[in-house]
Amino acid sequence: MTSPDLPRSIRVGTRGSRLARWQADWVASALRERSPGLAVELVEIKTHGDRDRNSPLAAIGGTGLFTKEIQRALVDGTVDVAVHSLKDLPTSGPDGLALAAVPGREEVADALIAPEHRRLDALPAGASVGTGSVRRRAQILHMRPDLDVRAVRGNVETRLNMALEGKLDAVLLAWAGLHRLGLHAHVTQRLEPPTMLPAVGQGALGIECRADDAPTRALLALLDDPAAHAAVVAERRALAELEGGCMIPMAAWGRMGDDGRLLLDASVFAPDGLRAISAALDGDPADPDDLGRRVAQALRDQGADAILDAFRAGR
C-alpha cells in the first residue's frame, strides 16, 4: 500500500520530444515501482525552445529555453513535478521550487557521429562538424582549430541525421540522450573526460517540485541518488558563481573519488577555442556548494571573468 504520507496521484510536466517523453516515462515508472498504487499523469508542455527550432539558441534567449514554461506550470499548480535534462536547467529559477531528486546519472561522455572518418583525429582539415553547444564548439576547436564547426538545431534525431545523411561530416551529441533512445550504435567515437569535459549536469535528470510540497518531496526522495546529486550541485554552484547559464563555454565534471571525496574538474574556454583555463579540486560530499565555489574562484583567479565577459559581449 502507498504510505499515507505520500501522494496517491501526481501530474508530471515534460517537454514533448521523444527524449523528454522517455525521461518522463522513466520517472513515472520508477515512482510507480517505489510507491505501488500511485497514479501518474504526464502533462506535455511546449517550451520556447521547442516552438523555435531554427534560430540559434543564443539568439532566442539561451538560458531556460527548455525549462521556463514547465517551471511556470509547476509554480501555478498545473503540474506537481517537472522532469528536466539537468544540463538545460538554469542555476537560478522561480522562487518556491526545489530540486528534489537527481536519479543515478547516465555516462557523461559526448559522442561523435562521423560515418566516413569515424574519429575526431581522422577528420580532414575543413571538415564540417555540427553542434548546438557553445561548450562543444569551443572544446572541439581547442583540439582541432582547423575544423569547420557549424551551429545546428533540432531534436536528437534531426541532428543525428545531418551526419547519417551526409549533410555534415560529423555531429556532436550527448552520449546519454543517444543511449536512452537506443541510437548509440551510430556513435563512432566516445569523447570522454578528462579529454573532453561534459556540460554542467550532463547525463543527469533533474526532478523539481514545489518546495513547500512535503508529500511530493518525500515521494521524489525515493528516486534520489546522493552521489549524483552532490556531483551536480557542485557543478551547478561553480556555474552559478561565474554568473553563467547553460549557454556559456564552460564544462564541469563532478564525481565521487575512490576515497569518498567529491571531485570536481571544470574548464572555461574562449568561444574560438584558442584559450582554455582549468581547475580541479576535491571536497566534502556533504558540502558540494563549497567545492563548487572554490573551483569557480580558482577559475576566476586564472582569468575566467575576462574570457566570459568577452564571450557575452560578442554574442
pLDDT values of the chain reduced to their tens digit, one per residue, 315 residues:
444 489 999 999 998 999 999 999 999 999 999 999 999 999 999 866 554 445 454 444 455 566 889 999 999 999 999 999 999 898 988 899 999 999 999 999 999 999 999 999 999 999 999 999 999 999 999 999 999 999 998 899 999 999 999 999 999 999 999 999 999 999 999 999 999 999 999 999 999 999 999 999 999 999 999 999 999 999 999 999 998 665 789 999 999 999 999 999 999 999 999 999 999 999 999 999 999 999 999 999 999 999 999 888 876
Residue 258 a catalytic site member: no
Q: Where in the chain is the domain with CATH 3.30.160.40?
A: 225-309
Q: What number does CATH give the domain 1-104+204-224?
A: 3.40.190.10
CA 80-98-280 angle, 5° bins: 140
Q: 205, 152, 149, 140: which is closest to 177 by C-alpha?
A: 205
Helix H segments across 144-248?
Answer: 156-164, 175-180, 214-220, 226-241
Instruction: Check if the beta carbon of residue 201 is closer than 8 Å to that of residue 234.
Output: no
Question: In CATH terms, is domain 225-309 a member of 3.40.50.620?
Answer: no
> In a 3-state reduction of DSSP, which class is residue 42?
strand
Separation CA 283–CA 230 (nearest Å): 11
Separation CA 112–CA 130 (nearest Å): 10
Distance between first and last Cα of the chain: 54
Separation CA 220–CA 299 (nearest Å): 34
Name the superfamily (CATH) of residues 110-191. Periplasmic binding protein-like II (3.40.190.10)
Catalytic annotation, pick one of 88, 110, 213, 265: 88
What is the 3-state secondary structure of 211-234?
CCCHHHHHHHHHHCCHHHHHHHHH
Q: Where in the chain is the domain with CATH 3.40.190.10?
A: 1-104+204-224, 110-191
Instruction: Check if the beta carbon of residue 256 is closer than 8 Å to that of residue 242.
Output: no
**pTM for this prediction:** 0.90
> In a 3-state reduction of DSSP, which class is residue 146?
coil
